[in-house]
Amino acid sequence: MESSCTALLHKLSLFKSLIFLLHLFAFLCTAYTAQQPTVLKDAAQNDLIDQLPGQPGPVNFTQYSGYVTVNATAGRALFYWLQEAQGGSTVSDLAPLVLWLNGGPGCSSIAYGASEELGAFRINSDGATLYLNEYSWNKVANVLFLESPAGVGFSYSNTTSDLRTCGDNRTASDAYTFLLNWIEKFPKYKYRDFYIAGESYAGHYVPQLSQIVYEKNKGINKPIINFKGYMVGNGLIDDSNDYKGLFEYWWNHGLISTATYKLLQTACALNSFISPAGGCINALDKAYDEQGNIDWYSLYTPKCQKFLSKVLMRRQYRAGHPWFAGYDPCTEIYTREYYNTPAVQKAMHANVTGIPYAWETCSDTVRTNWSDSPSSMFPIYQELIDAGLRIWVFSGDTDSVVPLTSTRYSIDALNLPTTTSWYAWYDYTAEVGGWSQVYKGLTLASVRGAGHEVPLHQPLRALILFEYFLNDKPLPSTTPKS
């Protein structure tokens, strides 16, 4: 009897020990799980911008900036700036996420997209203070600006040769790695509707990155990067059609002679748009001589006269110079001054490694050493159109660098069926905002009176365009309600 009781007590002791171990395991799992969001939250919190130098008081949105490593071996890290949607967390937690890329190649999305186009702030002529952009795209979305590739802006590589071996392939691959790592830092954006947008040479960056995201998402029922579509403004699409439209635009806008027009058609027929060679370079030089001292990116606005003092500029503003209407051609000067200020860099968690060169709007080193640039984006467009992704292409009609004629020739060459023929669309002032045509799988829109940087020259129309893209609605054929 005693041995039976002893055996029973031993079994009860083992059972109690097992129960204790199960409780301990449950406690440790709970503690570990509770700790993870805190760690991730802290990672994002370290990038929180309290207030930028010269910022006009508190704002109704949160912003972050900092670095994401994309290649630890080479020491490549890309710099970003996130401007969450205006209206606080109740709005930003529901709004889509949009990645914005500028082109060049070698130009900064902080310099252009964030600071003179669609970002929340613009820089005053003193290079030290900011003012709010009334038509910022973070009114309707969380906007993520990325300086890419490494060597552009604050983005850097500890492997110096990386700056001389940039190209389309590595730029797209690093941007995808950036997205994966960034979204781990900001897990609340997992599964959020996600779009990619950009302009100019981002006509390559945007579809190339879109293709990677789309293909990596294949077979995943609920992808973390919930990619819905992309939009490209005044972007390179296909070298042959881009050149054809470029020379035609120059000729029919009176920028070049008929003889030079014919020379360009012959000499540049099979040349790369980004790296012309031989007789094409000579023909282009002749065309540039004939065009004179104009702003190729905005045909009908004044160039920045860099020799003018700020005092003289202010006098011209007061005297009713066209710049007073809202366009200042010297914004790049103010941008350089602002982002090279130590206090600004500290507030933005930028230049933490002490980059051995000044921040620039564009990197000549990256641009002149570009290594790979496919002649056409047609295969990617066709693949992503067939996939049913939302694709919009827009074009400011006063740009003579990648003009509307180039874009129209390229889109026409895709041979897509038309669902809505060419029509005028309207902005909130009852003015024609531009023209649009809807194809099966793609929407084309022009923006009236806009140059290469559409949101810089026509901010209201650009914001309307962006809103209708996000809502997947055709641009309004009558005056929309504001």
User: How many Cα atoms are found within 13 Å in the side-chain-facing hemisphere of 340?
Assistant: 13
Which of 369, 366, 97, 393 has the alpha carbon at shortest distance from 241?
A: 393
Beta strands in 139-248 (DSSP E): 142-147, 156-157, 193-199, 226-233
CB 158 within 8 A of CB 355: no
The helix (H) or strand (E) run that includes residue 185 is helix 168-185
CB 329 within 8 A of CB 453: no
Question: To which residue do tokens 């799988």 refer?
Answer: 441
- Catalytic residue flag (residue 193): no
Tokens (6 digits) for 456: 């810089």
Q: Please give the Cα distance from 212 to 168 (Å, whole number).
A: 12
* Burial zone of 361 (CB within 10 Å; 0-12 exposed, 13-18 middle, 19+ buried): buried
Catalytic hit among 174, 295, 397, 399: 399
The three-state (H, E, C) secondary structure of 53-118, written as one string: CCCCCCCCCCEEEEEEEEECCCCEEEEEEEECCCCCHHHHCCCCEEEEECCCCCECCHHHHHHHHC
Catalytic hit among 239, 363, 400, 452: 452
Tokens (6 digits) for 38: 């805190």
Tokens (6 digits) for 316: 């011209």
Q: Which residues contact 282 (CB under 8 A, 6 or more apart)?
A: 267
CA gyration radius, the chain: 26
Q: Is 167 helix (H, G, I), strand (E, B) or coil?
A: coil
- Catalytic residue flag (residue 452): yes
Report in angstroms the alpha-carbon separations of 173 from 65, 107, 209, 213, 481. Answer: 21, 18, 7, 10, 41
CB 137 within 8 A of CB 455: yes
Report in angstroms the alpha-carbon separations of 168 from 73, 162, 165, 212. Answer: 20, 13, 10, 12
Catalytic hit among 109, 155, 200, 376: 200
Q: Please give the Cα distance from 422 to 431 (Å, whole number).
A: 17
- Catalytic residue flag (residue 457): no
Q: What residues act catalytically?
A: 200, 399, 452
